[in-house]
Amino acid sequence: KKKAASTIQRFWRGMAAKRLIFHKRRQFNKYKKQKSARAIQKTFRGHVARKKYRVLVRVHAVTILQKMWRGFSVRNLSRKRQERYSAAVKIQTMTRCRMARKELKQRKYIHDKQVLISKTARSYLARTRFNALVENRRSSNEMSELGQNLLKTALQYEKDRLMLTALHCNPANTDPEESESLKRFNALCNVNESCIGTGAFARLFREAGLVSKTFLSQTDCDIMFVKCCMGKKKMEYLSFVDAMEL
């Protein structure tokens, strides 16, 4: 019995030892597998991380290159647009200046011709009215003192007009000293002035007896002053002669 019990115990202890060894070996193999798996995972993750890093570095470099290229393209495009805009503005400015100068020259030409036509027409109408008045006075033989003064004044102004025509063609641009209109004009001018105003112009008409209900009113004198002066506030000598013709 003791021998059988020893055999059973030895057999059981052997089995228990084998089981323990098997269990330990199994745990050791599991630990080695886990360690190997961790090493493989670590290596793989490192490889993946390095690969991702290289990709990120490559992407970052490409991004920097794209950024630099886009910045260069935008700056170049902006510079070209600015140059085109400046050139267009310069061309438009030159064109508008040329058109403005052309229009101003045309307006000045038209204005000069209008003034010339207006002066010629006023002179012609004044001579026509004067000739009709003279013929009427001569036919009726009832010329009053006022009519005689008007005739004398008109004849003198016609003489002055002819003298002024010669004056325009005179290179020295001098006025005849015996001009009656020049003497009247100088008498109306203030000291150190070469032009007259509306007051002096109206005073001349009042002294001649033309400002009345029958002939001219103060408003008519002012209108004549403005027309002969072309809107100016002062009347020069040539405008004064034109007014006397009217």
181, β-bridge pairs: none
- What pLDDT shows up at residue 129? 76
Per-residue pLDDT, 144 = 56
Residue 197, C-beta contacts closer than 8 angstroms, at least 6 positions apart:
233, 234, 235
**How far is the C-alpha of 78 from the C-alpha of 18, rounded, in Å?**
87
User: Which pLDDT tens digits describe the chain residue by residue (246 residues)?
Assistant: 677 777 888 888 888 888 888 888 888 888 888 888 899 999 999 999 999 999 999 999 999 999 999 999 999 999 999 999 999 999 998 988 888 888 888 888 888 888 888 878 777 777 777 777 667 766 555 545 555 666 566 656 655 555 555 444 443 444 445 556 666 767 776 656 667 776 777 777 776 666 655 556 666 666 666 666 666 667 666 667 666 655
Single pTM value for the model: 0.32
In this predicted structure, what is the pLDDT of residue 131? 72
What is the model's pLDDT at position 100? 84
- Phi and psi at 219, nearest 5°, equal -65, -40
Residue 201: Cβ within 10 Å count: 20
| CA-to-CA dists, residue 221 to 57, 139, 199, 224, angstroms | 96, 30, 10, 5
At residue 2, the pLDDT reads: 74
Cα–Cα distance measured from residue 58 to residue 100, given in angstroms and rounded to the nearest whole number: 62
Predicted local confidence at residue 29, as pLDDT? 87
- For the chain, domains (ranges, CATH) are 143-245 (1.10.238)
